[in-house]
Each structure stands twice: as C-alpha cells, then as structure tokens.
Amino acid sequence: MRILVTGGAGYIGSAVVQELVEAGNEVTVLDNLSQGHRAAVPEPATFVQGDLRDRSFVEQVLADRRPEAIMHFASHTLVGESMEDPFLYLDDNVRCGVNLMRAAVNNDVDRFILSSTANLFGTPDRIPIDEEAPVEPGSPYGESKFMLERVLHWLDEIHGLRYASLRYFNAAGAAAPHRGEDHDPETHLIPIVLQVALGQREKIVIFGDEYDTPDGTCVRDFIHVLDLAQAHILALRALEDGSRVYNLGNGKGFSVREVIDAARRVTGRDIPAEVGDPRPGDPAVLIASNEKIRNELGWTPEYDSLEAIIESAWQWHRRHPNGYESSE
C-alpha cells in the first residue's frame, strides 16, 4: 500500500514506519521536525518536511503522493504542558488533524489510523480500562484526541472514511538498534531512569509513595513500541471490515519502584532514587484491558515483561547516549 505517516520522524511514528517499509509498503513520512528527528526516518521511506497547519501544503502532499491510507502521529503530547497552554492542544492538535482529514476526504483516501491516548479516561472508575469506560479526558491533550475521534466518527458516517482510533497507554522500549526514545525535554519514566544509569542525571525522583498500591507508588501499563507498531498494521488491515476503537496496553501494571528495580537489574547500575511530592491529578493505577484487540485481531504483545522492554531501551540508550544528535 501507499501510506502517509505524519509524525513519522518521532518515537512511535518512526517505529511504525520501520515495520511498514519492512513489510513492503510505499511510505511517505510528513513531519515538521519540531519534535522528531530526520535520522529516525527509515530507508526507503520518502521524507517530506512541512507543517500540518498549512492546509494548502497538506492538500498538495496528498495530491502528489496519492496515499491509500494515513497514519496520524503528529501531535503535541505533554499532559502537563496542555494544562499550562490549552490552546496549543485544543487549537493546534485539532486544527492539524482536521486539515489532514479534510485532505484525506478531498483526495479519496478511505483509511485512517489515529494515534490516540489513554488520557481520554482521566481517573477511571474501574481497572483494567476497556473501550466501554466513560470518556472523561484528563487534560486538554486528552480532549484534543477525543475531538479528533469524534470528527472521524462523522467523516465515516458522511464520507465513508474508515478509521481506527488506537488509545495507547505508556509506550516504552526501543526498535533497537536504530530507533529509540529521544525527547527534549524527556518526561517519560523509563528513559529518565536510564539517563540516571548513564550518569546523565543525579537521581530519579518518585512522585509520591502513599498511593493505594502495593508499594505506595503509581502503577502504570507499559507497552513496547514494536508491539504498538504491529497493532497499527493489524488495525489497518482490519479497516476492510469497518471502523474500530482499541485500547492498547500490555494488560499488566508495574509500579514506579518496580520499574526502577528492573532497570537496576538490567543495567547493573546503581540508580539513586528519592521520593518527592505527588503530582496533582496522577491516578494511582492505570492498566489497559486489551481483550478486544486480542479477540478481534489476534494481537498479542511480544514484549510482555518489564525487563524485556527496559533491555531494548537500554541497548539503544547505550549506543545513543546523546540521542539522535550524533547522527544528525
């Protein structure tokens, strides 16, 4: 297939592009490189630099490349930032997505994969979280993704644009050895812990240890980025049978302390940790139910242990201690 991947120079997008090109698809990556890295884009994908806010540019890219399907990863993704600057999310994220969807309809693209989020569920009333859980976004970031889901719903109803909304929990790990996690600033737990192991940070700060969990620290569901990539490919094939929504997680929960202890075992390094103040709004436990995608698409996470996820990330960070900087 001819597939357009927005945000394909980013962490998750580039891992998906890698899997797509290895499967023989003709992939075009559209990215403005505000968060992504040119060195992350796998060969032989075609790279186009540009901004989704420019509607005429987006229309021209689709007219030139003639994709049969679109995967949309490009987005502002920081929950905390969205609470400080909601318009960056409720304006930019939504406008960019709608520009892309309008161009899809105008250029007869009938398949669309949306990178969505578990932040749709805020503080859930039951664990694990399935697709029937009430949608109550926990931030403007989550709200922006839900708004795009609703736009897709109506474009399917009116124009037949079949879509899959994939609601990620905590993406982690690396598509080693070439693609890994390199954010500025880095906000994700596993790469921060590994930066401590590399001596790039003095310590890891645990945000609270009095939650209602076995060890008092927050419990989260970590899913390997390559397992996410495979879910995208399966969902794309399944659009032949209509639109769908899936929660994507490992289905297991690991506490912050468990992540730090596992990183110590994997790296063999002393990783100093101290307890700080809890962050406002952090739920004690977030774990996905992945039964629906397992049952409907036969998807099964290959990297289902915390050590395997951290080991892949550790391999990449050791080879790229400064991220993609040396490659670029």
- Catalytically annotated residue among 11, 89, 141, 246: 141
Q: What torsion do the CA atoms of 74, 68, 235, 189 make, to the nearest 10 degrees?
A: -20
How many other CB atoms are found less than 10 A from the CB of residue 282? 15
Q: What are phi and psi of 160, to 5 degrees?
A: 75, 25
Q: Tokens for 30, please give them.
A: 């559209």
Count how many Cα atoms sit within 13 Å of the Cα of residue 62 in the half-sphere of its side chain. Answer: 24
2-6/69-72 β-pairing: parallel
Based on the residue annotation, tell me whether 141 is a catalytic residue of this protein: yes
* Residues belonging to the chain: 328
Bridge partners for 4 per DSSP: 28, 70
The 3-class SS string of 176-219 reads CCCECCCCCCCCCHHHHHHHHHCCCCCCEEEECCCCCCCCCCCE
User: Which residues carry out catalysis?
Assistant: 141
